[in-house]
Structure 1
Amino acid sequence: MKCLFVCCILLYWRAIAYTQNLLANGGFEDENICIEYIKNCAPEAWIATSLTANYYFDATQKGAAKAHTGTHFIGLTAGSLSMEGIRNFVRTRLLCGLRKGHQYRLKMYIRSPHSILDSIGVYFSEQDYLYEKRYFKLITPQLWSINGMDTTIRNPAVWQKVEFLYTADGTEGYIAIGNYKRNDYTGIQHAEYRHDYYFFLDDVSLTPVDSQEKICLQADSVRRAIYEENERHSYLVRKVYQYRRNPPPVLPLPKTAHRKAQHIDTLVIPDIFFATGSYQLSPVSYHLLDSFASKLSLPVIDSMVVEGHTDSIGKLAYNETLSLNRAESVKMYLAGKVRGLDVKTTTRGFAYRRPLASNKTPKGRQLNRRVEIFLYKNDK
């Protein structure tokens, strides 16, 4: 039992090793294996709002069109020959939060056999677009394709680059792309899938304009969490139905930052430092957290992320609340010791979605009940 009170503080150096694209899987090459049919019928990170639509295309299949690059691309319903107001939008979570007033370059490639590319919109939102209750006609995207296209290209069937400069308001968490035209197109005679006519999308990227603004180092953790969203088809229908009625709390994203190199201090706090089934810190936790706080120097701290985790006992909603509240308790305790730390801290509650060990054994469940602190420190 004594060993349970020993917490590991891991210190390591790390450089940014991946591209500055703030969107995961922007080329749609990473395939999601859905948990319902065990099939690769969707891209990782990107989910379409019409949950049963055919929107993921493989260019290696017989008779298939070519992707812009690679072998996969997305096709989205722009309208229907049989019913008015049919649309399909695709959305993804950003890897890092955008900084208010900063500019970002959004680039994507679109094509369609129909002259419909002028009304493709890009909508940034704080909440997940899958749970949006408003009809698309009530939503105005921040960007329209017509403003970023080379309008001298007359053939809509070829891949066309669309590029924008977007000025962030600092609340962005998700991006959605689709046809936001309020009225349906006229004169279209044929459909790509059943009665639906499409436009196609590939190679989407969002990068800071300022070369000194870098992707956050927490992006790998956010990417893993995004890739763990494996619900598709009827599983996703049930999830969306639940969350449209009661949207989940919005987990803030760590912001991009100006940095050359950082290192990370990691502290793992087991659940023995909390009252049983509670988010109240127990007195035995104070010494550990006081020791951690005494080593903090605010000027070199870029940000801190506190993540709560539970075992799989109990309902998901209960565990989401418990894990987030435990993370909040740790944040507030440390913020009380280090003035100004609270504004640099992000909390997340993952419930039992990210276990360290099997939840089938008492020992595994004990390891999974934890709070993890990630302290990102700028090099001097």
Structure 2
Amino acid sequence: MTRLLLSLLLLPCIKAHAQNLIANPGFEDRNTCTELHKVCAPEGWFRIPLDAVSANKGTAGFLIGNHHDNIVMENVKRPGIGRTYLYTKLLCSLEKGKEYRFTAFFRTGGNDDFHHMNLLWTNFEPFRFQGRILSEKSRYTIKPADKTNDQPVGWKEYELRFVATGEEKYVLIGNLERDVFPGKGSQQRGLIIYEIDNVSLRSVDGNTGACAEISVNKEKLYLNNYRHTPGKFIDEEEEVVSTPTPKDETKTDTPVPAPIVVAPPPVVNDTLVIPDVLFKFDKKDLNPAFAYRLDTLIDKIKNKTFKRIEILGHTDSLGNNTYNQKLSISRAETVKKYLIDRLNYPADIIITKGFAATLPVSTNATGEGRQKNRRVEIVLIK
């Protein structure tokens, strides 16, 4: 009886373990993407460039579970080109002035040692506003000295602590340094790849740090199944719906129900693909012999209204990246001008972007595949 009483007295002194504010930290929950109707990525995680993650990526495993993910830190054959990034939306907002602990397990490939990993905390979705990523200041660097312990099969745990500003909604993980990343990379492709698993974000003080909506936020995050469609974002504004309270003349102290936050139904955006044949060879100018095809596409949208129109230029992998980037954006600008001249849409809702060869839809090893990759996409956002 004395032992039981002592245990009960000690219970209030034990702090609750802080909850992890990262969804799917071990990449075990798998997403079935809408476009391919098959498993293509971990739930709750998104990749830049827009791409799928292999369904069996990481099945060579970790000491816990069957999956992990990877990040291309550098392409030593083409420095600065080919880097990839992972990001996710936090399950709860961080408290301003509070200290948090980020931990993750990393494993490097080949003979390369761990050099660094950057973390970027943003209040905007990284894929939607990629141009702002390098200018953001809420960036931290995990260094070799931040290793906390070694794990089996080459994995190492790293920890980074920081004080929240209260603006953090997303975290992006990858190499954001402008300098060429040191290392040899794989012999065939020259890629320096870091593997990542068991990601965690918790408050340092040991309090739970979780919001009441943590479970709902996770469910909403898992609903985002588009992984190959430009213009699909997870930070669309939520609609606030107030529940009316019946008027009761006999009561004056009836509490008014709090507004219910309801996620809007998934928006189905249309993507119109303009093939390479509509342009003059290796030029930004439209080919007059095939321009009528673009008019056919315009006829489909001329009587509709849209929140935003994004025109995305793409090339194949031949040639250098500077040239391909210039060509992809120039072709997108050509299509924008064509639309403005024929539609009554204001120019400020039509946005152009150039992706060069970073988002292929087919192989660049064949002429047929390269022709598919040379394209301009018109994304109609309702």
Q: Secondary structure at the residue paired with 1:99?
A: coil
Are the structure 2 counterparts of residues 84 and 50 from structure 1 closer, same or farther at C-alpha, using a change threshold of 3 Å?
Answer: same
Residue type of the alignment partner of 1:131: R
Give the structure 2 partner of residue 122 of structure 1: 119
Are the structure 2 counterparts of residues 137 and 127 from structure 1 closer, same or farther at C-alpha, using a change threshold of 3 Å?
Answer: closer
1:310 is displaced (CA, Å) by 6.2
1:182 is displaced (CA, Å) by 1.4
User: Number of aligned pairs?
Assistant: 257
**CA deviation vs aligned residue, 1:274-309 (integer Å, no higher than 9, x gap):** xxxxxxxxxxx4645999994449xxx9xx563246
What is the CA RMSD across the aligned residues, in angstroms?
4.2
- Say yes or no: does 1:72 pair with 2:26: no
Give the structure 1 partner of residue 201 of structure 2: 206
Residue type of the alignment partner of 1:49: I
Give the structure 1 partner of residue 168 of structure 2: 172
Alpha-carbon separation, structure 1, partners of 2:30 and 2:107:
22
Are the structure 2 counterparts of residues 238 and 170 from structure 1 closer, same or farther at C-alpha, using a change threshold of 3 Å?
Answer: closer
Q: Is the 8 A contact 2:103 2:199 kept in 1?
A: yes
Are the structure 2 counterparts of residues 203 and 319 from structure 1 closer, same or farther at C-alpha, using a change threshold of 3 Å?
Answer: farther
Alpha-carbon separation, structure 2, partners of 1:312 and 1:181:
36
Name the TM-score, length of structure 1 as normaliser: 0.57
**CA deviation vs aligned residue, 1:82-107 (integer Å, no higher than 9, x gap):** 32213111000111101000111111
Residue type of the alignment partner of 2:147: D
Give the structure 2 partner of residue 48 of structure 1: 47
Are the structure 2 counterparts of residues 179 and 306 from structure 1 closer, same or farther at C-alpha, using a change threshold of 3 Å?
Answer: same
**CA deviation vs aligned residue, 1:335-367 (integer Å, no higher than 9, x gap):** xxxxxxxxxxxxxxxxxxxxxxxxxxxxxxxxx
Give the structure 2 partner of residue 307 of structure 1: 261
| Percent identical | 25
Give the structure 2 partner of residue 33 of structure 1: 32
Residue type of the alignment partner of 2:112: S
Name the TM-score, length of structure 2 as normaliser: 0.56
Alpha-carbon separation, structure 2, partners of 1:101 and 1:35:
40
- Say yes or no: does 1:217 pair with 2:222: no
Moved over 3 A (4+): 53-60, 135-141, 248-252, 285-297, 308-320
User: Could you tell which deviates more after superposition, 51-60 or 308-317?
Assistant: 308-317
Report 1:328-343 matches (<5 A).
Answer: none
Residue type of the alignment partner of 1:196: L
Q: Is the 8 A contact 2:120 2:140 kept in 1?
A: yes
Report 1:270-349 matches (<5 A).
Answer: 285=244, 287=246, 294-296=253-255, 306-308=260-262
Report 1:244-255 matches (<5 A).
Answer: none
- Which of the two has higher C-alpha Rg? 2
Report 1:95-114 matches (<5 A).
Answer: 95-113=91-109, 114=111
Q: Is the 8 A contact 1:48 1:55 kept in 2?
A: no
Alpha-carbon separation, structure 1, partners of 2:171 and 2:149:
27
Residue type of the alignment partner of 1:307: V
Are the structure 2 counterparts of residues 57 and 165 from structure 1 closer, same or farther at C-alpha, using a change threshold of 3 Å?
Answer: farther
Q: Is the 8 A contact 1:95 1:223 kept in 2?
A: yes
Q: Is the 8 A contact 1:116 1:185 kept in 2?
A: no
1:129 is displaced (CA, Å) by 1.2
**CA deviation vs aligned residue, 1:9-64 (integer Å, no higher than 9, x gap):** xxxxxxxx99711111001000001111111120000011122264665444xxx3
Structure 1: state its 5+ residue gaps.
1-16, 253-266, 270-284, 321-380
Alpha-carbon separation, structure 2, partners of 1:291 and 1:230:
50
